[in-house]
Every structure is written in structure tokens, then in C-alpha cells.
């Protein structure tokens, strides 16, 4: 039975998917060297089909710029945007709080602390993966600590979870400040990484974030209906046949994994996980099965646009985390005010 | 399908952190009856329901449901047997009334299936029984407390289970809807052989509708038995520490509890 709201959702998702594709192609063309959409498609086609004849007639540097310089960065931005937005949907659904996101839980701070430690100690044990690995370990340890702190009688309480997250996040932030103080000459590396950047994106990073985002999407959609019912509170969801404690753990771990990978690859990028689910809930309603795909696409578009602005439009490259906070913060205030004024979903 | 005993509760105790909230409860509940749980605030009634619905696990003792340990059922299986109308109602992120009632069908719908025709029929039927069809497309966060409570009752009806739990399900309803829901529950018991287990604060409603009463105090089972034998001035005085008199009301022929006011 396809109902009116479902039709609207399919149309919106289709539009968002097409916009994501367009945004990728348009932003690939933008930059120091302008490349036509046709040229971009020919380069991509040549690589996908393994047919070098497609790039004939293009300037020699074009395939290099598209494949090695721009696309890794652009795809990383889109995938990180999608990943952060989906994590936001999951955290908000589980914590029953539209203002929840990876930061409220301290996950991002945990990842940042781990990465700062790696940068400071100049760990090269695992080559290029040292920093991401440390970030990931930091995020997971933080999640486990926060979950442990908020578990009473074998049950996680949603309220204590936020509180524990804020406390642990505050401790970790102080820890990061301490590391910066110790870092002395290396402090610039840590600070720049913390503010978030796509400048050093690689295909390995694309693959890593891509796998994490795909994994997150599959798990979250699998438990989508359970997540809807969990918004009724534990007593109700349990009596409706949802194993609340189990689903909550699985989804929290999944969202934290996605967040950790995103933070590890690009540093701290705020507000995407907070704003996108909020905006999309406005358009598709509270159903997480619709909210997840819509938010993934919207997150991809939004972060890609922000990155393109800092990369190709602004005269100086501003750290992406600073830009999303500067644009996202006031935007969020506006939505928040409107939400309180008029009739809305909450 | 109904065995001679629906729930059998043996030596069940439960504590959060600290003293026991439920202390050595022993009880056997046959199916097809209307049970009322009464007792003062904080005596462990809701915790007791949580144990029976499997939401919490007892620290000691066993609860058997239809001759198998309650813990041996998975949540989905249990949700096809037991429905709960909880005391509080979180609206979450503003679903519509129809979506909330449809959630009652969750244990009946496979993970990747859409609601089937029979699921929509159950939803329509439940909304008609409670009389909330006109609220179908309203967002639950725009409803009054009483309307929300009726939506939750409809959700439990849509769940279509042999056993229904009501935890103070009529606390914010006016007398018309209170009687509507109690009559509905009574019909489910007498016409369809279902079992209703309800926490009830209003002793007159408990006396009028319940077959059996469970008196609780300080986490203990104080009295259990047929309503006419247990709804007595002594038991009420012992449980609630108030002076009461129980008579047969000439108007509705039910047991009627009157209280000594202005003491």
C-alpha cells in the first residue's frame, strides 16, 4: 500500500540522490583549473570501464587532477557528510533528544584525543593508519566508558548517557588541551587536524569512510522500525517486541564506529550530525526508515558544498570544521526558534 | 490453547539498588479472568507488572508463563502474547495516531514486510473500538493527556494479544472514557476469554470490574482472592491505612467502598 507520505518520500530521496550526483560533478569541475562536466564524466568513465580512449583529446593534467586530486577529497567530503548525518539520526533516535549528536556523547572528543596522542608521540608504528587507528581506539574506549558509566542494573538510561557523555567529553577536552600544551612545536599539526580538513584525502580514506557509511546504513535500516518504536520509551518498546537493550547497544556501537572513522579521516566536523537530521525530519517526518536515507544524501550534499566553498570559492582555505560551525550554528538557532514558535513535528 | 495456569510466580524478589521493591511474591493466575492489582503508591505494583511483561528480570525466584519460564521467550514472541498499556506515554518525535496504533502490529509484521491487509484491519478495528478514528492523522504531540491514553489503549488492542496489562490506564480519562475502557476490557475477558491484569487506584472500579484482587503493600503480597472476599474494610484499612466501609450499591449491585472523610 503506497500512501501519500510514501510517494513524497520517494520523490524527495530521488531528488536528493540526483542532487548528490550533480554536486559531485559540479564541484569536481570547480577550482584553480576549471574542468567541464563532460571532461569529468569522460575521465570517470575511462577509469570505470577501463577504456583509456575516452580521455583522448583532454589535456594531460585533467585525468590526474580529477582522479588523484579532486575526486578523493570530494568523495570523502560527501561520504563523511552522509556518515555524520546518519550517526546523528541514530543518536537522536536512541537518546530521544533532537539535540543529541556524536559530541553530546563525547565520541568525537575521544577520537580527537586518540589522534592528538598519536600526532604528539609521532607514532608511525602503523604507517599512515596510525592517526586514524588511534582516533578509532579513542572513540570506542570513550563509548565503552560512557556506556559503562550510564549502565545501572544492566540497563542504559538515555538521560544518564548524555550526562556521562558530557562529563567524559569535558575530561577529554581538558586532556587535548594538555596535549597541545605539551606539543610545543608540533601544536600546529594537532590544531589543524582538530579543526577538520579534507585537503589530504586519499582513495584509501574514501574506501574506509565508504565502507563504514555503507555498514552504518545497512545496520541502521535493518533496525529502522525498532528505532521508531524505541522513541516510545523502554517500557513500551519492550512490550511491543523490541529487544530495546540489545538494539540500543548495536546501534550505538554502529553509529560510534561511523563517527570514529569520519573523525579519524577528517578531524572534528561539527553540526552536520546535528542539523541534517533535524532539517530532514521537517521534510519526511519522524520515521527513521525515511529519515536515514534522506539524511545521508542531505549530509553528503551539505558537507560537499561547504568543502567546495572553502576549496574553490574562498580566497584562503578555511578549516572545514570552522566553516560548518560558522554557517551551521546560526542556521541551527533559526530553526530552533522557528520550531518553538510555530507548529512543528515535536 | 489456554493451559490451567497462565502465570505462576514463585518466590519472586526484585530490588533496584538498595532494599527489596518486591519481596517473595508467590502467586498463580489462571487465564480468562480480570485481575486487579491495588495498593498504596510505591508498593511495587508497576515493578510487578514490569516483571510479568518481561521488561525486568527478577533477582530471585521464577516466573512461568504458560508452563515455560518467562525468560525462555524472546521479546517478539512475548509481544504476541502480552500487551501493555503503560502509565506514562513518551511521544518521541511526533508520529501520527495511526502510526502509533500501527506500532502495535510490530510483533506480527516481519522485519522487511509492509503491514498486510489484516494489520490495517486490526488498526481500524482498534481505533473504532476506542472511538478515535477522527484523530487518525493527528500528531500525538498535539493531543491531550486523555486522548494520548486512549491512543495507547488502541495500540494495545491492535496488538491483539490473549493477555493485556493496564498500568493505571485510565488515570487521565473522564468518567465516560474510563467506563468505556473498563467495559471494553471486561468484554475482552468475558466474550473472548482473554486475561486482563490491571493496576487500579480507584477501589470502586476495582471492586466493580475485577474477578480477583491482588492487594500489595511494601513490596509484599498482602491478599489475593476473589473480589467479594478480598474487598473488605479490614484489607483496605491494612493496605492504605484509611477507614472504609464496603457495601453493596443498590444502584449497580456492585461492591461499593465508602471512606471516612474529615477524620
What is the CATH classification number for the domain harbouring A129? 1.10.3470.10
Q: What would the grid cell of residue B89 be?
A: 506515554
Asked if residue B106 belongs to a domain, the reply is yes
- pLDDT range class, residue B33, cuts 50, 70, 90: very high
In which domain, by residue range, is A268 found?
77-341
Q: Report phi then psi at A160, rounded to 5.
A: -65, -25
C-alpha cell at B84: 501493555
Alpha helices (runs of H) in B86-174, residue ranges in sequence order: 97-103, 117-130, 145-159
Average pLDDT over residues B88-93: 65
In degrees and rounded to multiples of 5, residue B167 shows phi and psi of -105, 95
Q: Would you say residue A45 lies in a domain?
A: no
Q: Which residues of A touch B107 (CB under 8 A)?
A: 240-241
Is B180 contained in some domain? yes
Q: A33 lies in a domain? A: no
Domain count, chain A: 1
Which residues on A lie below 8 Å from B76 (Cβ)?
241
Is the CB of A128 inside 8 Å of chain B's CB atoms? no
Would A290 be classed as within a structural domain? yes
Structural domains in chain B (count)? 1
Q: Residue B198: beta bridge partners? A: B36, B166
State whether the Cα torsion B222-B226-B229-B234 is positive or negative.
Answer: positive
With an 8 Å Cβ cutoff, are A235 and B84 in contact? yes
pLDDT tens by residue, B161-193: 999 999 988 888 999 999 999 999 999 999 999
User: Given this model, what pLDDT does residue B2 score?
Assistant: 43
The whole-angstrom separation of Cα A84 and Cα A275 is 10
At residue B243, does pLDDT exceed 90? yes
In a domain, B100, yes or no: yes
| Predicted confidence (pLDDT) at residue B120 exceeds the cutoff of 90 | yes
Tens of pLDDT, residue by residue over A34-87, are: 888 888 888 888 888 888 888 777 888 888 888 888 999 999 999 999 999 999
Maximal CA-CA distance, chain B: 62
Q: Does residue A181 lie in a domain region? A: yes
Q: What is the pLDDT of residue A345?
A: 44
Whether the complex's predicted ipTM is more than 0.95 is answered with: no
Residues of chain A falling short of pLDDT 70: 1-4, 97-99, 123-129, 153-156, 158, 335-336, 338-346
Measured between CA atoms, the residue of chain A closest to residue B104 is A240
Residue A46 lies in a domain: no
Strand partners, B245: B258
Mind telling me how many Å the CA of B42 is from chain A's nearest CA? 18
CA nearest A280: which of A16, A7, A2? A16
The pTM (predicted TM-score) of the whole model is 0.87
* Chain A residue whose CA is closest to B16: A153
* Upper half-sphere CA count for residue A330 (Cβ side, 13 Å): 4
> Grid coordinates representing A71?
575526486
Among A219, A205, A206, CA closest to A248: A219
pLDDT band for position B92 (cuts 50, 70, 90): low
In a domain, B71, yes or no: yes
DSSP state of B250: T
pLDDT above 90: residue B37: yes
Q: CA–CA separation, A81 vs A223, rounded Å?
A: 21
CATH number at residue B90: 3.40.50.300
Asked whether residue A57 is assigned to any structural domain, the reply reads no
Residue B237 domain-assigned? Answer: no
B50, B93, B106: residue with CB nearest A346: B93
Q: Do A232 and B92 touch (CB under 8 A)?
A: yes
Residues of the domain holding B71: 7-223
Residue B10 has pLDDT above 80, yes or no: yes
Residue B41: inside a domain, yes or no?
Answer: yes
The contact set of B with A (CB < 8 A) is 16-17, 50, 53-55, 74-80, 82-84, 86, 88-90, 92-95, 99-100, 103-104, 106-107, 111, 114-115, 120, 139, 141-142, 152, 159, 165
**pLDDT at position B86 over 70:** yes
Nearest-by-CA chain B residue for A95: B92
A289 falls within a domain: yes
**Residue B115 belongs to a domain:** yes
Q: Is residue A25 part of a domain?
A: no
**How distant is the Cα of A205 from the closest Cα of chain B, in angstroms?**
32
- Whether the per-residue pLDDT at B1 is higher than 50: the answer is no
pLDDT at position A99 is 67
Is A207 part of the contact surface with chain B (CB cutoff 8 Å)?
no
Amino acid at each position: 500500500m503506497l500512501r501519500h507520505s510514501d510517494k513524497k518520500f520517494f520523490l524527495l530521496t530521488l531528488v536528493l540522490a540526483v542532487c548528490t550526483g550533480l554536486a559531485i560533478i559540479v564541484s569536481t569541475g570547480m577550482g584553480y583549473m576549471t574542468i567541464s562536466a563532460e571532461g569529468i564524466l569522460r575521465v570517470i568513465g575511462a577509469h570505470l570501464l577501463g577504456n583509456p580512449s575516452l580521455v583522448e583529446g583532454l589535456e594531460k593534467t585533467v585525468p590526474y587532477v580529477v582522479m588523484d586530486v579532486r575526486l578523493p577529497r570530494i568523495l570523502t567530503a560527501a561520504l563523511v557528510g552522509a556518515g555524520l548525518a546518519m550517526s546523528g539520526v541514530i543518536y537522536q533516535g536512541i537518546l530521544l533528544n533532537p539535540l543529541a549528536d556524536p559530541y553530546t556523547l563525547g565520541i568525537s572528543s575521544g577520537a580527537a584525543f586518540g589522534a592528538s596522542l598519536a600526532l604528539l608521540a609521532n607514532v608511525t608504528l602503523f604507517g599512515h593508519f596510525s592517526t586514524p587507528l588511534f582516533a578509532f581506539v579513542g572513540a570506542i574506549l570513550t563509548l565503552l566508558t560512557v556506556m559503562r558509566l550510564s549502565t545501572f542494573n544492566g540497563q542504559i538510561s538515555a538521560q544518564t548517557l548524555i550526562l556521562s557523555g558530557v562529563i567524559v567529553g569535558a575530561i577529554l577536552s581538558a586532556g587535548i588541551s594538555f596535549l597541545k600544551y605539551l606539543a610545543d612545536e608540533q601544536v600546529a599539526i594537532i590544531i589543524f587536524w582538530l579543526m577538520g580538513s579534507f585537503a589530504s584525502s586519499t582513495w584509501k580514506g574514501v574506501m574506509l569512510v565508504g565502507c563504514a557509511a555503507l555498514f552504518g546504513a545497512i545496520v541502521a535500516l535493518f533496525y529502522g522500525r525498532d528505532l521508531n518504536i524505541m522513541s516510545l520509551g523502554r517500557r513500551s518498546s519492550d512490550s511491543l517486541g523490541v529487544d530495546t537493550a540489545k538494539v540500543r547497544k548495536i546501534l550505538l556501537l554502529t553509529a560510534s564506529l561511523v563517527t570514529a572513522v569520519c573523525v579519524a579521516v577528517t578531524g572534528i566536523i561539527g553540526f552536520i550530525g546535528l542539523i541534517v537530521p533535524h532539517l530532514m525530519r521537517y521534510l519526511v517526518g519522524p520515521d527513521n526508515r525515511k529519515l536515514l536515507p534522506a539524511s545521508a544524501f542531505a549530509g553528503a550534499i551539505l558537507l560537499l558544498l561547504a568543502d567546495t566553498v572553502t576549496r574553490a570559492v574562498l580566497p584562503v582555505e578555511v578549516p572545514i570544521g570552522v566553516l560548518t560551525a560558522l554557517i551551521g550554528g546560526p542556521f541551527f538557532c533559526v530553526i530552533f526558534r522557528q520550531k518553538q514558535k510555530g507548529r512543528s513535528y515535536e | 490453547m489456554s493451559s490451567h495456569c497462565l502465570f505462576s510466580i514463585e518466590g519472586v524478589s526484585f530490588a533496584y539498588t538498595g532494599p527489596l521493591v518486591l519481596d517473595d511474591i508467590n502467586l498463580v493466575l489462571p487465564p480468562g479472568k480480570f485481575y486487579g492489582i491495588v495498593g498504596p503508591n510505591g508498593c511495587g505494583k508497576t515493578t510487578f507488572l514490569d516483571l510479568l511483561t518481561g521488561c525486568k528480570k527478577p533477582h530471585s525466584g521464577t516466573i512461568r508463563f504458560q508452563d515455560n519460564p518467562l525468560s525462555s521467550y524472546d521479546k517478539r514472541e512475548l509481544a504476541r502474547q502480552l500487551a501493555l498499556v503503560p502509565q506514562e506515554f513518551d511521544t518521541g518525535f511526533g508520529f501520527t495516531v495511526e502510526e502509533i496504533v500501527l506500532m502495535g502490529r510490530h510483533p506480527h509484521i516481519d522485519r522487511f514486510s509492509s503491514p498486510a491487509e489484516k494489520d490495517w484491519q486490526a488498526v481500524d478495528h482498534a481505533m473504532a473500538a476506542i472511538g478515535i478514528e477522527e484523530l487518525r492523522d493527528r500528531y500525538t504531540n498535539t493531543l491531550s493527556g486523555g486522548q494520548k491514553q486512549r491512543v495507547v489503549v488502541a495500540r494495545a488492542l491492535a496488538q491483539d494479544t490473549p493477555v493485556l496489562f493496564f498500568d493505571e490506564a485510565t488515570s487521565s480519562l473522564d468518567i465516560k472514557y474510563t467506563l468505556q475502557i473498563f467495559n471494553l476490557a471486561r468484554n475482552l475477558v468475558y466474550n473472548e476469554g482473554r486475561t486482563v491484569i490491571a493496576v487500579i487506584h480507584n477501589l470502586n472500579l476495582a471492586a466493580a470490574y475485577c474477578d480477583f484482587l491482588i492487594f500489595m503493600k511494601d513490596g509484599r503480597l498482602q491478599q489475593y482472592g476473589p473480589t467479594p472476599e478480598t474487598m473488605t474494610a479490614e484489607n483496605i484499612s491494612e493496605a492504605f491505612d484509611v477507614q472504609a466501609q464496603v457495601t453493596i450499591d443498590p444502584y449497580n449491585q456492585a461492591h461499593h467502598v465508602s471512606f471516612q472523610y474529615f477524620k
